[in-house]
Structure 1
Amino acid sequence: MATPLRKRLPREFKNNLGRYLGMILLMVMAIALTSGFLVSATSIQVIDSRSRDTYNVEDGRFTTNFEADDESIAAVEALGATVYKLFYADMPLTVPGDDTAITVRVFENRTEVDLPAYIEGQAPAADNEIALNRNFCDNLDLELGDTVQVAGEDFVLVGKVSLPDQVTTFRRNTDFIFNSLQFCVAQVTSETYERIAASGSQYNYAFVLDDRDMALADRISFESDLTEALSDNGEVLTDLVDWEGNQGIVYATDDVEGDILMWEVLLMLLIVIMAFVFVVLTNANIEEESSVIGTLLASGYRKRELIFHYMTLPLIVGIVGCVAGTALGRLVFVEPMKNLYYNSYCFPPFEQYWNTKVFFITSVVPFVLLVGITLGGLLSKMNATPLQFLRHEIGRRSKSGGVRLPDWIPFPVRFRLRVFTRNWTHFLTLFFGIAFGSLLLLFGFCMMPLVQHNADTMAESVVAEHVYTLKAPLEIDGTDMQRESFEAAETLATTEDLSELNPDNMLSMLLLAQEVDEDANPVNIYENSQEAIDQAEKFAATTLEVDRRMGGQKEETTVYGVQPESRYWDFVKVSSDGIDVGAGLAKKCGLEEGSTYEFYDKYEDKSYSFTVEHIVGSASDMATYMRIDSFNQVFDQEPDNFNGYASDLPLSFDDRYLVNDLTPESMQGVADQMSDSMGSIANMMIFVAVPIYLVLIYLLTKTVIDRNARAISYMKVFGYHDREVSKLYVRSITVTVLVSLVLCIPLLIWALSLLLEFVFMSYPGNLEMYIQPLAVGKELALGVVTYAVVAFLHVRAIRKVPLALAMKAAE
């Protein structure tokens, strides 16, 4: 670069300090916050993917009534797996100074499977020592050395631990919500476990397959053989869970994966905003420097020298912004972003991993955009002649002299209109800039109301006060004799040492057990009122998958087999040959009435073709409905098969048969959990949006002031005071900003609908588009407040416009 041009750079930077600092701030904030989140989230994914080998995470687990004998375990291992004891007992835990009722799941120190990772401290080594899961300790402010009580006995906290099968603390795998405040997991020594928990042990076993890459369908086949092997050896299986269905293992990572897509969409939005700003500022800079460029060209400078000169500062700005943003994101923002998940879930110790994709989309893409847009703008403008540059004819201004305004309009109003008409393209740019920034704000403000609205809809869509899902058919309307017979048979089956039973009682039990009809469905041992029995309705249910409309993934749907003329699913009118689908499932998967679609059973590796007859229910309804007789025929079940009851009155069941109890309240609990996990994400998005919005509005409105600097100087020469000049120019900008904030709302709602549909495509369920009026009000209010700050800065800038500028030659 020629020396004279090089000497202009510091002066040019100083004269446009606000513009260049604004660009740097915009890039730094966008890159730092999004890279901070994406680095933390992708690092968590790496940690999780490596946990399977690092901590020897199970491939599945099963629970038996009693401790399985060696022959039973050997029969399972002969199928191609290694079985490990993973016994536990649920016991009451008390934290001094806290009256909360807490349940702790106590395990022995693990040394073979689902190995612990200690974040602080060490494994218990003495009888009075205990280790608790890390996030529970953090939530209750427990530190190493503190004392807690388990079943009334004092224990010293010596370790904060993460167990890979208890990353998310669900009491039961079929629960809808987890609780990290009233439920925790612990490890103690083997001797301590035998002393305090052995009598109440749950006989849980984890298995690790010889072939750890076995497909899900093959694993399900293996687990079916496992069930048969245990049954053949006299074991009573009470639970069996594959690792992909274990919420303690997969729930947290699924949550992280969904949020990554949300932040990638946010990043793409920020990149579009940055590209927009770069275009505006590049054009403004070239137009302002038009006469200088013309003079240099006329003086013999070549175009490539000028292009290199005018690319220098944007290159420096881009490098500084990307380097500072990346460094700030990795050094400062990874920790708070990581805590968004570590406060709720008990992941292993955090390590930060390099991710090339994150670096590329957060740093390389913005830099390439800045350089490419600036270079493109320069190349397109450099086709003009030196004379056109000198006459400022590259801005494509109208040569018609502008619109003639009526004389009866007061001068201040006419002047403001003239400012607007002469800068209408810049004000149009300002409108779209405000729309982009407002979309960013509204994206953050509408997240929580959207989640809450859909949670309320989900709660309202539960067809009964209780929807009980069972592991197997269980009759609730048996006679007293049938209940006594099945209770006797169950007692005999669940008593490990029959010698403990009273001989007389044992004899009567044996006689009663003989009355059990082995060909009939089991009968519930708990008596329910006739009123409750009469209003309860049987149904059958299973789970299938269907392709989503976009994203290349599958959506899980519960297929219900319902009674003809059902009192609870009264909106289902399907015939014996087709299915009805919920409106939410239809929208998310693009299902249409009269069309046939493939539904897939991932556990059986089998597909089914169904024709959609009706689309029913609300926008949150993700279920599929069939007649129960068709259900049993399609899925090769007995004609009288069922595995659930819908009931408006509570029913009592043997816990061995009950999977879950779906109620409107439990769905509201899911909403509260979603709000808790997504609330911090939404707040962080607002934290990202506000400063970026401030910088965006400042940069866009500043270009209008800069382009009118000479006219402002003329006004001062003619005797106008700074306050009067500010009213004439700033008020024109103010009106444009306020009108733009209101007029862009329909555009925002349309764009946000598309964005949210894409963002939530990877989440299970269908979130109906809902924008709370209060969220729009917040966006408008924040937009006004933000512009008030910007307007104050512009008033100061107008005061600094020198009178000498009017004396300089315009051409």
Structure 2
Amino acid sequence: MKNPLNKRYKKELKSDAGKYIAIFLFLVFFIGAMSGFFVADNSVVTNYEESHIKYNIEDGHLAFNIKPAKAVISDIETQNDLKLFPLYYKEEKVKDLDDTLRIYADRDAVNTECVLDGKMPEAANEIALDRMYADNNDLKVGSVITVRDTDYTVSALIAVPDYSCLFESNSDMMFDALGFGVAVLSNEGFEAMSDAHLTYNYAFKYNKAITDDTDANTRSEALIDSLESIIKKYDEPLLQAQVDSVYEDAKGTIKALASEFETASDELETKIRAAMRTAGMLNNAGIAKELGTTEEKYNAMMDAFKEAEGMEDDFDLDSLDKAPKVSLDDYESEAGFDSKLNNAVDTVYKIVDAVEATGIYDCSNIRKNLDKLDKMMDINIDDSGILTVEDYNPRYTNKAIAFVMEDSTSDKASATMMLYIIIAVIAFVFAVTTSNTISKEANVIGTLRASGYSRGELIRHYMFLPVTVTLLAALVGNILGYTVFQRMFVGVYYGNYSLTEYKVLWNGDAFIRTTVVPLILMLVINFIVLSRKLKISPLNFLRGELKKKSRKSVIRLPKKLPFFSKFRLRILFENIPSYLTLFVGVILAGMLVVFGVMFEPLVQDYTALVNETKLASYQYILSDEAKTENNNAEKYCVTSLETMYNKYLTDDVMIYGIKSGSRYVKAEIPSGKVLASNGLLDKFGLKEGDTIDLKEPYGNKVYTFTIAGEYRYDAAISVFMSRSDYLKMFNKGDDYFTGYFSNEELTDISEDSIAAVITEADLIKMVTQLESSMLDFMVVFKALGIVIFLLLMYILTKQIIEKNTKSIAMAKILGFTDIEIGRLYLIMTSFAVLASLLLSIPMIDAVLRWAFHSYLYTEMTGYIPYIVSNSCFVTMVILGLVCYGIVAAGLMLKIKKTPKGEALKNQSL
């Protein structure tokens, strides 16, 4: 026999169509968007990991300033149980675009290409471009680009596993898929291109596979130590040969100088002794007079002789048979190689000057040989053959490889956090709607219970429609998730990363998170609420007494208040729980909306800050020492160190050495302390007086800095110290510098001497790319916020109207029009909505600020300030009011449809 209750489903669905449609659409959008994201994320990550095997990704790479000898390559491979693969590249500008291309020859062993469109270059004038770079610059197969005045036809669009994210340098704050790209030429084309910007880069693969990051780090540190030893073994003989040559050339001159000096010494001694015999041993004035000079000049000459007494070893001919042993550990610059002889020569100059001043001996021959020796001692080390490592990057720290996984992890963490917030909202909605259903159906439930229906039958009955709607929403949501939303999120990934070919993969975890969990949540919440409510006796259901304390203390209102004011206040007091529930919902929805709209104005504000606080219009970083005639240019020193916080990802920190009275860094830097950029202080929670430990990027040496204050510099995480402290800390010579600050372009420095030029465009690269990469995600957040606004406001305001159906019907009987009744209820609810929107602003701001510092900063490298424009909150309020306006219009129709007969129902029995 069919259950008669089944006939009620159609009526219940029709009467609550708005509620079920709202829940259905929300669940569809939520399940579709979240499952689409998790499916896309899982598919991208899995394909990314598989591409490392398929295209034989490197375990790391290192670059040298010159081509290393075969013996060096052999030593590196043998000592570290690895294989080196030459992957030389040339960096060139693309004409008319002013972008940088890193150009390789065709790869056939490691980091091989994935061809996404077209075919690999065969002719010398064909080029394969990174697909991401080509898309961003509207290039496709068949397009023509000009590099170094040579036209190349794009023959293929490719992806390479070592550049899944287009970081030009591992020290960049953010990748640049707009102005930097990777390209591949045929071997013939690569050979034909100029070697002016050639880098001797080698990828390496360990013969035994890496097990994890700990193993990778251990091997990396061993490789660094090995490189230091091998390069020292190679470089020291080259330096020794140059020093030996200088000593050998100087030996004859020193012998001649020593002989002349001995002759001069004998003659001077004879004259001085004769003068002493005449004037007396202690009569300096008399001795000077006998010598034909002044007492002051005589005393200066004797002081110079005393200073030279300790110099016999420096001019011992036996000690000059062999030059001093050169050690790279002892010498940081050229100054170290000639300091000993230079000091000796300087002392001899003092003696010669003192003797010549007296006029008692002709030192012209001595000075001639001394000038010759001094010129020889001005050692200029030829470093063209000295081998140095210009870049070393193991795979696990290489942002160009690892950033996709890191970004996916942070995206997944953000999406998961948002998922649980929305699940909390769903739980909240299910609890509210189920409780509202019980209140609305109280009279029916009482009648059914009195007619003999059990609680179990009624629980199953009232769970049927919510379960059915949820299952249908889950089905439609998953279909959309694996199609529309999945393609959208994959588009976001492929719109920012240079990834290999893609295929959709089933994701069981996404199904559990987005479908199973909400379904179980709905079942549990509905069951608990229904079970608890159905314990009420049938008589109380019939009376509408659903709470233990049905009578509340009445708040007395002033008699002078107008009737309508009293009525609205009664509505407010009776619906305080509903309005508090609305307030919570507004906070959750508003948080998503603000997060969705904050980044576009944040980028604009941050760009303005970067421009306002930039150190100079041009920051030149030199590869070779070069001079400029521009008087406005200022030398500075800079190096990069790494943070050591376990809670955060490793950040590069720029360490600047600034001269006193700098025109570009306008601050007094205390000796022995540093000024930290505002980003460093804000991100890591530091303050004046704190210390921070930073380590070498490719070594184990740790430097400790004491913070004296803040310097406003928004472009990068930086530390500013005095030049003298910098030279002392990093053991550099007095003439050492790294580059120039300038507000004008320096045109008199050779391009080959410039390693990089940092302009305003480079400084804002991070925010430009961040805006591009997050735009689609932010649209989803904004859309979710709008949907939640609509859902919550519809359900909660609808509940307020339904709870007051009897009062509305009674008001109609008393002659109030629909518009007057609408004013009573909707104006009060409008006030509650507006108050909730305004009161939620500081709470949303506090929560997002906490999320930035406690979560976002720990999951990203670099720094972007927490800036929420007032326009974001204005947008949130406007969206909230618009959403409520739509809902209010629907509720006005519901008031019109409320029959007067409702006033006669549910009377206390």
Global fold match (TM > 0.5): yes
Q: State the alpha-carbon separation in 1 of the partners of residues 670 and 642 from structure 2.
A: 18
Residue 764 of structure 2 aligns to a residue whose secondary structure is helix
Structure 2 match to 1:263? 415
CA deviation after TM superposition for structure 1 residue 430, in Å: 1.8
CA deviation after TM superposition for structure 1 residue 760, in Å: 1.8
Amino acid at match of 2:774: M
- Counterparts of 1:17-28 in structure 2 under 5 Å? 17-28=17-28
Structure 1 match to 2:875? 778
Cα 1:757–1:201 shift into 2, 3 Å = closer
Structure 1 match to 2:830? 734
Residue 120 of structure 1 aligns to a residue whose secondary structure is strand
Cα 1:662–1:126 shift into 2, 3 Å = closer
CA contact (8 A) 1:134 1:160 kept: yes
CA deviation after TM superposition for structure 1 residue 615, in Å: 4.5
Structure 2 match to 1:35? 35
Structure 2 match to 1:689? 785
CA deviation after TM superposition for structure 1 residue 112, in Å: 0.9
Q: Pick which of 584-593 and 226-235 moved more.
A: 226-235
Amino acid at match of 2:4: P
Q: Pick which of 341-350 and 195-204 moved more.
A: 195-204
Cα 1:553–1:299 shift into 2, 3 Å = farther
Structure 2 match to 1:701? 797
Per-residue CA distance 1:355-377 (angstroms, 9 max, x = gap):
44443333333333323322332
Aligned residues between the structures:
748
- Counterparts of 1:70-149 in structure 2 under 5 Å? 70-79=70-79, 80-90=81-91, 100=97, 104-125=101-122, 129-145=126-142
CA deviation after TM superposition for structure 1 residue 72, in Å: 4.4
Cα 1:93–1:570 shift into 2, 3 Å = closer
CA contact (8 A) 1:238 1:656 kept: no
CA deviation after TM superposition for structure 1 residue 605, in Å: 4.4
1:547 aligned to 2:645? yes
CA contact (8 A) 1:35 1:358 kept: yes
Structure 2 match to 1:588? 683
Structure 1 match to 2:313? none
Structure 2 match to 1:768? 865
Q: State the alpha-carbon separation in 2 of the partners of residues 123 and 182 from structure 1.
A: 23
CA deviation after TM superposition for structure 1 residue 443, in Å: 1.7
CA contact (8 A) 2:55 2:110 kept: yes
Q: State the alpha-carbon separation in 2 of the partners of residues 618 and 372 from structure 1.
A: 53
CA contact (8 A) 1:568 1:646 kept: no
CA deviation after TM superposition for structure 1 residue 794, in Å: 1.4
- Counterparts of 1:357-368 in structure 2 under 5 Å? 357-368=509-520
Structure 2 match to 1:603? 698
Q: State the alpha-carbon separation in 1 of the partners of residues 835 and 802 from structure 2.
A: 22
Residue 394 of structure 1 aligns to a residue whose secondary structure is coil
Aligned pair partner of 2:601 in 441, 444, 449: 449
1:716 aligned to 2:812? yes
Structure 2 match to 1:486? none
- Counterparts of 1:527-566 in structure 2 under 5 Å? 527-529=627-629, 531-532=631-632, 535-536=634-635, 538-539=636-637, 541-547=639-645, 551=647, 553-560=649-656
Structure 2 match to 1:490? none
Aligned pair partner of 2:575 in 423, 429, 444: 423
Residue 502 of structure 2 aligns to a residue whose secondary structure is coil
Residue 384 of structure 1 aligns to a residue whose secondary structure is coil
CA deviation after TM superposition for structure 1 residue 17, in Å: 1.6
Amino acid at match of 1:735: F
Residue 284 of structure 1 aligns to a residue whose secondary structure is helix
Q: State the alpha-carbon separation in 2 of the partners of residues 53 and 678 from structure 1.
A: 29
1:798 aligned to 2:798? no
CA contact (8 A) 2:613 2:713 kept: no
TM-score, length basis structure 2: 0.73
Cα 1:786–1:385 shift into 2, 3 Å = same
Structure 2 match to 1:391? 543
Per-residue CA distance 1:395-447 (angstroms, 9 max, x = gap):
46762474344454444333333322222221222222223222221121222
- Counterparts of 1:549-698 in structure 2 under 5 Å? 551=647, 553-560=649-656, 571=667, 576=672, 581-591=676-686, 599=694, 603-605=698-700, 610=704, 612=706, 614-618=708-712, 622-624=717-719, 637=731, 644-645=738-739, 647-648=741-742, 659-698=755-794
Amino acid at match of 1:240: D
Per-residue CA distance 1:8-45 (angstroms, 9 max, x = gap):
33332222121122112222212222332233233323
Amino acid at match of 1:51: S
1:311 aligned to 2:466? no
Per-residue CA distance 1:503-525 (angstroms, 9 max, x = gap):
xxxxxxxxxxxxxxxxxxxxx2x
Q: State the alpha-carbon separation in 1 of the partners of residues 552 and 768 from structure 2.
A: 62
Structure 2 match to 1:518? none
Amino acid at match of 1:379: S
Aligned pair partner of 2:156 in 150, 155, 159: 159
Residue 161 of structure 2 aligns to a residue whose secondary structure is coil
Structure 2 match to 1:495? none
Cα 1:130–1:254 shift into 2, 3 Å = same
Structure 2 match to 1:516? none
Residue 119 of structure 1 aligns to a residue whose secondary structure is strand
Percent same amino acid among aligned pairs?
Answer: 29
Amino acid at match of 1:547: Y
Q: State the alpha-carbon separation in 1 of the partners of residues 691 and 137 from structure 2.
A: 53
RMSD: 3.7
Amino acid at match of 1:545: T
CA deviation after TM superposition for structure 1 residue 600, in Å: 5.2
Cα 1:809–1:273 shift into 2, 3 Å = closer
Residue 185 of structure 1 aligns to a residue whose secondary structure is strand
Structure 2 match to 1:520? none
Cα 1:673–1:377 shift into 2, 3 Å = same
Amino acid at match of 2:417: V
Residue 279 of structure 1 aligns to a residue whose secondary structure is helix
CA contact (8 A) 2:678 2:710 kept: yes
Q: Pick which of 45-54 and 191-200 moved more.
A: 191-200
Q: Pick which of 618-627 and 719-728 moved more.
A: 618-627
CA contact (8 A) 1:469 1:643 kept: no
Cα 1:35–1:556 shift into 2, 3 Å = farther
Q: State the alpha-carbon separation in 1 of the partners of residues 664 and 403 from structure 2.
A: 31
CA contact (8 A) 1:462 1:663 kept: no
Q: State the alpha-carbon separation in 2 of the partners of residues 775 and 424 from structure 1.
A: 28
Cα 1:263–1:453 shift into 2, 3 Å = farther
Amino acid at match of 1:683: V
Q: State the alpha-carbon separation in 2 of the partners of residues 659 and 265 from structure 1.
A: 42
CA deviation after TM superposition for structure 1 residue 153, in Å: 6.3
Structure 1 match to 2:500? 348
Cα 1:457–1:244 shift into 2, 3 Å = farther
Per-residue CA distance 1:91-127 (angstroms, 9 max, x = gap):
6667xxxx64566544333221111112223333456
CA deviation after TM superposition for structure 1 residue 573, in Å: 5.1
- Counterparts of 1:174-193 in structure 2 under 5 Å? 179-181=176-178, 183-193=180-190
The gaps in structure 2 that reach 5 residues or longer are 236-384
CA contact (8 A) 1:760 1:767 kept: no
Amino acid at match of 2:884: Y
Q: State the alpha-carbon separation in 2 of the partners of residues 570 and 221 from structure 1.
A: 42
The structure in which a higher percent of residues are helix is 2
Structure 2 match to 1:222? 223
Amino acid at match of 2:390: D
Amino acid at match of 1:716: K
CA deviation after TM superposition for structure 1 residue 217, in Å: 5.2
Q: State the alpha-carbon separation in 2 of the partners of residues 347 and 235 from structure 1.
A: 38
Structure 2 match to 1:484? none
Q: Pick which of 157-166 and 776-785 moved more.
A: 157-166
Amino acid at match of 1:529: E
Q: State the alpha-carbon separation in 2 of the partners of residues 407 and 679 from structure 1.
A: 56
